[in-house]
């Protein structure tokens, strides 16, 4: 079954009737614009596309798209998105959220979605701060960064989400920036097309509590054209290097979770219940129940 729209849609066609309520200049506007353009380029059918989010400023995004949307619990977009994809593998599923939502309360879900290679795209708007709850430091905030929750400086080291993604087994790892929408659109398009778990760290400055846009613009560079995206060690080196390398750090092709489950189902189909029980008994299992 195709997830393409029967009618070619323009980026504006993916806008809902609700207007974004982010602060003026928020980087999330650029990410949303890139997502609209990417969905248009891919010709996605809104009726066969689901955007899932957790809690936070960026997690309001599903409200602003004409697709199906789930605005779920804090840190829980990935298990919901995995459930949607497993229930209906024909859907295009995109999870969105912020660095706090995804890598504080939600950090336990990330490595399992990545290693299972669930065929979803996870787009994280990274502003190195908690915006919705008024500027506390997040898992990606810098060491000694001052904020309402750390007036004397952040005592914790920031989490390197790209290195975490590579180590967790994500099969597509990239970084983009809200202030470079053309390149970010291309990354989102490639991530959605990729069969497997795709992670994009999208630099998205918070103009109210952590306005780093001018600073970050001076720190970004493009991933070198000769970078081997299949080289996991090279991906780690890029992730751990100073500054922000924009582009694809790592990509590999391997079976998705749905494909592997389909293989298990095919193996199990020839076995009826009595055969399964006898096999279980033959292997030393103890079944409970009358007549077993």
Contact 231, 173 (CB under 8 A): no
192-214 in b/e burial notation, b at 16+ Cβ within 10 A? bebebbbbbbbbbbbbbbbbbbe
CA distances to 51, 134, 173, 194, 202 from 198, rounded to whole Å, are 14, 29, 6, 7, 13
- How far apart are alpha carbons 106 and 82 in whole angstroms? 14
Print pLDDT tens along the chain (292 aa): 457 777 789 999 999 999 999 999 999 999 999 999 999 999 999 999 999 999 999 999 999 999 999 999 999 999 999 999 999 999 999 999 999 999 999 999 999 999 999 999 999 999 999 999 989 999 999 999 999 889 999 999 999 999 999 999 999 999 999 999 999 999 999 999 999 999 999 999 999 999 999 999 999 999 999 999 999 999 999 999 988 999 999 999 999 999 998 898 888 777 777 877 888 888 876 555 544 4
Walk me through the domains of the chain, giving residue ranges and CATH numbers: 11-254 (3.40.50.970), 257-292 (no CATH)
Contact 285, 276 (CB under 8 A): no
Bridge partners of 10?
Answer: none
Q: Are strands 244-251 and 68-71 parallel, antiparallel or unpaired?
A: unpaired
Query: Which pLDDT tens digit goes with each residue over 129-171?
Result: 999 998 999 999 999 999 988 999 999 999 999 999 999 999 9
Nearest 10 degrees: CA dihedral of 180, 183, 186, 187? -90
Nearest to 181 by CA among 35, 10, 19, 15: 35
**Threshold 0.95, pTM exceeds:** no
């Amino acid at each position: 079954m195709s997830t393409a729209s029967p009618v070619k849609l323009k980026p504006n066609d993916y806008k809902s009737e609700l207007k974004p309520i982010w602060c003026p200049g928020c980087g999330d506007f650029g990410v949303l614009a890139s997502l609209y353009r990417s969905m248009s380029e891919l010709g996605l059918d809104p009726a066969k596309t689901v955007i899932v989010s957790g809690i936070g400023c960026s997690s309001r995004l599903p409200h602003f798209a004409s697709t199906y949307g789930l605005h779920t619990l804090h840190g829980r977009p990935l298990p919901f998105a995995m459930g949607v994809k497993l229930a209906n593998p024909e859907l295009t599923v995109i999870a969105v959220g912020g660095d706090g939502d995804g890598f504080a309360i939600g950090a336990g879900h990330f490595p399992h979605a990545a290693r299972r290679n669930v065929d979803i795209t996870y787009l994280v708007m990274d502003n190195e701060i908690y915006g919705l709850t008024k500027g506390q430091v997040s898992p990606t905030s810098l060491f000694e960064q001052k904020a309402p929750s750390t007036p004397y400086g952040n005592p914790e080291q920031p989490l390197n989400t790209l290195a975490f993604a590579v180590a967790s087994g994500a099969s597509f790892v990239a970084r983009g920036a809200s202030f470079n929408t053309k390149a970010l659109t291309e990354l989102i398009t490639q991530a959605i097309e990729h069969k497997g778990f795709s992670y994009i760290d999208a630099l998205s400055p918070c103009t109210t509590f952590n306005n780093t846009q001018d600073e970050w613009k001076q720190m970004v560079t493009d991933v070198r054209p000769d970078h081997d995206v299949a080289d996991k060690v090279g991906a780690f080196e890029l992730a751990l290097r100073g500054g922000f390398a924009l582009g694809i750090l790592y990509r590999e092709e391997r079976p998705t979770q749905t494909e592997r489950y389909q293989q298990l189902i095919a193996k199990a189909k020839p076995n009826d219940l009595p055969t399964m029980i006898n096999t279980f008994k033959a292997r030393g299992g103890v079944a409970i129940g009358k007549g077993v």
